[in-house]
Amino acid sequence: MCGIVGYTGGRAAAQVLLSGLKRLEYRGYDSSGIALISRKRLRCWKSAGKLQELENLLPENPAGHCGIGHTRWATHGKPSTENAHPHLDTEATTAIVHNGIIENAVMLREMLQARGVVLQSETDSEVLAHLIAAADGQTLQERVRQCLMQVRGAWGVVVSSTTEPDTLIAARNGSPVIIGIGDGEMFVASDASALVRYTRQVVHLDDGEVAVVRPDGFEVTALDAKPMTKTAITIEAGHEDYDRGGYKHFMRKEIDEQPEAVARTLSGRLDERFNTAHLGGLNLSARELLDIRRIKILGCGSAYYAGISGAGMIETLARIPASAEPAAEFRYRNPVIESDTLYIVVSQSGETFDTLAALREVRRKGGRVLGIVNAVGSTIAREVDGGVYMHAGPEISVASTKVYTCMNVVFALLALHLGRVRDMSPQHGRKMIEGLQALPELIEQALADDDHIASVARHYATCESAFFIGRAAAWPAALEGAQKLKEISYLHAEAYPSSELKHGPLALVDENMPTVAIVPDDDLLEKSLASIEEVAARSGPVIAVTNSDDQRVIKLASHVLQAPAAHFLLGPLLLGIPLQLFAYHCAIARGLDVDQPRNLAKSVTVE
Ligand code: G6P
């Protein structure tokens, strides 16, 4: 999705903007641009394609200490230089960069054209530059406010103008904007990754707010000019967390970071005295937790799959009926919201539009919502009634790996906590704690099988399709495994609960259709073996992903990806590690761009 950077201060703005835009590349984009103010003149460079194309256009050391930059992911209008941001008004006094959608753009374009304005692009965003330049406010801030009163839709917008050459105006409505506080310099970005190199002190704008940003500080008002008080927070991650380090791909780095990420998720949360989990941010007393009759988990993509897995853990340990649903589907079916249901939204970025909209719908109807979120201070984190941060560290690769694992770990902690305020015995709680404490080391062991997994992946990388099957707790692992393979290797992969195989998909099984079978060492092992047999009997190659040492698995499968034994509830989570590596190595064998898969974005902030 689109990215925004703004700078005002003593440095050469072009360098700051370019380094910020590079940090935002991971979000996915198809064109880029920057605008600088120098000697009261606005200059703008834009290009379709990668950032390198933009850099090729720039003169050496372009002058200017204030400017804005953008990476665009096309929604209205094709990827092209004209449609790239920044957009300028006709006299080139005002430049804007915009994330989001202006819903009444057609009407506004016609209105501007009737006044004789010649629009340069097909975008909905360009109208903002013309409207701001034409507004009759005394200050740039007033003109931006006037413009925003006329538009409908979603925006994260930053404006620069020759009338106030060292000022940036930033505004938010539905699309994230963060102000970074420096010493005699200030930054604006749509994502903290763009500014951590310069500052870790940030302020998140809320919907309907407008900020005036100058080198010596900022002030925030509502759209009606009412002053707002804002509190700065410190970002946990350093800029090195946003680097590839020695790795070729962020995905690979993030797969390898899982032992430390999981240790951070667990840190300070295991209560060995009472054999429970300590989750400070839930904002729910033991009495309130006892009153919960049902749990509904909402998320998108991998977060939804982690939700299915979480629902299973909660039902098993706490015996509370729990289920997961894709956030957008939930919202659109006009759900019944119950006061004794606890709603949980799950999101890495904390900005996914569909998840945020579902959260708002539940709260509007009086429901109580907890968040399981990675990005500290994100919109979802700020709007929930309570929640748990994952502390997985920044995840840059589009394909989620360490965060999917940490989402599962948070659910395990929550299930333990809910179980211990209900019927779960201290002994049972103790076993779960030991299982969780062992996880970082077990993940390390699972990662050590990399070479073997790579050779198996190379063997199957030329296939056209694959099934992924798993039973009960292994079913979400199958969904996530298939998703990883689809996302980065573009292989057709479909996940089924093992029991469903014989109700249709089995018709496709032959020697050219491999099946990845997730076989945890749990009570259902015999049943899982029966499913593998069904496939093997039809000459279908089976890749068994297992932490069981049962010889029958080894005999029946064409290839085995082995993970270490674990607490029965954590087995499927651990089996996710070989599945990540399998997808990664398939994509590498197929020569694909692992970190920026086609058509996908890391965080989907539009509907
Ligand atoms: C996008 C990403 C997925 C991710 C989903 C939810 O579709 O490509 O990898 O699982 O959004 O993102 P969130 O930030 O809410 O976890």
Q: How far is residue 366 from each of residues 325, 337, 369, 457, measured CA to CA in Å?
A: 19, 8, 9, 48
Given a cut of 80, is residue 603 above it in pLDDT? no
Fold for the domain defined by 3-241 = Glutamine Phosphoribosylpyrophosphate, subunit 1, domain 1 (3.60.20)
Residue 288: pLDDT band (50, 70, 90) is: very high
Percentages (nearest 5) of helix, strand, coil residues in the chain: 40, 25, 35
For the stretch 295-320, pLDDT in tens is 999 999 999 999 999 999 999 999 99
- The pLDDT value recorded for residue 238 is 80
Q: Are 452 and 282 in contact (CB under 8 A)?
A: no
- The pLDDT value recorded for residue 229 is 95
Greater pLDDT, 40 or 86? 86
Per-position DSSP letters for 464-533, written without gaps between them: SEEEEEE-GGGHHHHHHHHHHHHHHH--EEEEEEGGGGGGTGGGG-STT--EEEEE-SSTTHHHHHHHHH
Ligand 1, residues at Cβ distance < 6 Å: 300-303, 347-349, 352, 355, 398, 400, 600, 602-604
CA-atom Rg of the chain in angstroms = 26
Nearest atom (ligand 1) to Cα of 380: 15
Greater pLDDT, 582 or 50? 582
Active site residues: 2, 602
Distance CA 23, CA 368 (A): 36
- The pLDDT value recorded for residue 318 is 96
**Which residues neighbour 129 within 8 Å (Cβ) at sequence distance 6 or greater?**
86, 87, 88, 89, 94, 95, 96
3-state secondary structure of 542: strand
Residue 77: pLDDT band (50, 70, 90) is: confident
Q: Where exactly are the structural domains of the chain? A: 3-241, 244-447, 449-594
Dihedral of CA 518/520/523/525: which sign? Answer: positive
Q: Which of 398, 400, 580, 607 to mutate to test the pocket of ligand 1 (most atoms within 8 A of CB)?
A: 400
For the stretch 480-534, pLDDT in tens is 999 999 999 999 999 999 999 889 988 998 999 999 999 999 999 999 999 999 9
3-state secondary structure of 361: helix
- The pLDDT value recorded for residue 454 is 98
Residue 53: pLDDT band (50, 70, 90) is: very high
Task: Please give the distance, rounded to the nearest whole angstrom, from the Cα atom of residue 399 to the centre of ligand 1.
Answer: 8
For the stretch 81-116, pLDDT in tens is 999 999 999 999 999 999 999 999 999 999 999 999
Question: CA nearest 47: which of 89, 82, 96?
Answer: 82
Given a cut of 90, is residue 606 above it in pLDDT? no
Q: Are 476 and 446 in contact (CB under 8 A)?
A: no
Task: Please give the distance, rounded to the nearest whole angstrom, from the Cα atom of residue 295 to the centre of ligand 1.
Answer: 21
Residue 74: pLDDT band (50, 70, 90) is: confident
Task: Please give the distance, rounded to the nearest whole angstrom, from the Cα atom of residue 434 to the centre of ligand 1.
Answer: 31
- The pLDDT value recorded for residue 241 is 84
- The pLDDT value recorded for residue 372 is 98
Q: Which of 325, 330, 352, 486 to mutate to test the pocket of ligand 1 (most atoms within 8 A of CB)?
A: 352
Average pLDDT over residues 385-412: 96
240 burial level (CB within 10 Å; 0-12, 13-18, 19+) = exposed
Nearest atom (ligand 1) to Cα of 483: 9
Task: Please give the distance, rounded to the nearest whole angstrom, from the Cα atom of residue 302 to the centre of ligand 1.
Answer: 6
Task: Please give the distance, rounded to the nearest whole angstrom, from the Cα atom of residue 353 to the centre of ligand 1.
Answer: 10
Task: Please give the distance, rounded to the nearest whole angstrom, from the Cα atom of residue 221 to the centre of ligand 1.
Answer: 31
- The pLDDT value recorded for residue 40 is 87
Given a cut of 80, is residue 465 above it in pLDDT? yes
Residues constituting the chain? 607
Q: Which of 348, 402, 480, 596 to mutate to test the pocket of ligand 1 (most atoms within 8 A of CB)?
A: 348
Mean of the per-residue pLDDT values for the chain? Answer: 94
Distance CA 161, CA 575 (A): 54
Task: Please give the distance, rounded to the nearest whole angstrom, from the Cα atom of residue 192 to the centre of ligand 1.
Answer: 17
Nearest atom (ligand 1) to Cα of 302: 10
> For 210, left (φ over 0), alpha (ψ -120 to 50), or beta?
beta
Residue 390: pLDDT band (50, 70, 90) is: very high
Query: Whole-prediction pTM value?
Result: 0.89
Rounded to 5 degrees, what angle do the CA atoms 73, 75, 78 make? 85
Average pLDDT over residues 528-546: 94
Rounded to 5 degrees, what angle do the CA atoms 407, 492, 304 make? 20
Task: Please give the distance, rounded to the nearest whole angstrom, from the Cα atom of residue 354 to the centre of ligand 1.
Answer: 10
Name the CATH superfamily housing domain 244-447: Glucose-6-phosphate isomerase like protein; domain 1 (3.40.50.10490)
- The pLDDT value recorded for residue 451 is 97
Residue type, 570: L
Q: Whose CA is nearest to atom 2 of ligand 1?
A: 602
For the stretch 206-237, pLDDT in tens is 999 999 999 999 999 999 999 999 999 998 88
Name the CATH superfamily housing domain 449-594: Glucose-6-phosphate isomerase like protein; domain 1 (3.40.50.10490)
Q: Whose CA is nearest to atom 8 of ligand 1?
A: 602
Q: Are 544 and 557 in contact (CB under 8 A)?
A: yes
For the stretch 176-196, pLDDT in tens is 999 999 999 999 999 988 999
- The pLDDT value recorded for residue 30 is 87
340 burial level (CB within 10 Å; 0-12, 13-18, 19+) = exposed
3-241 and 449-594 agree in CATH topology: no
List the structure tokens of 357.
């909209």
Q: Are 606 and 502 in contact (CB under 8 A)?
A: no
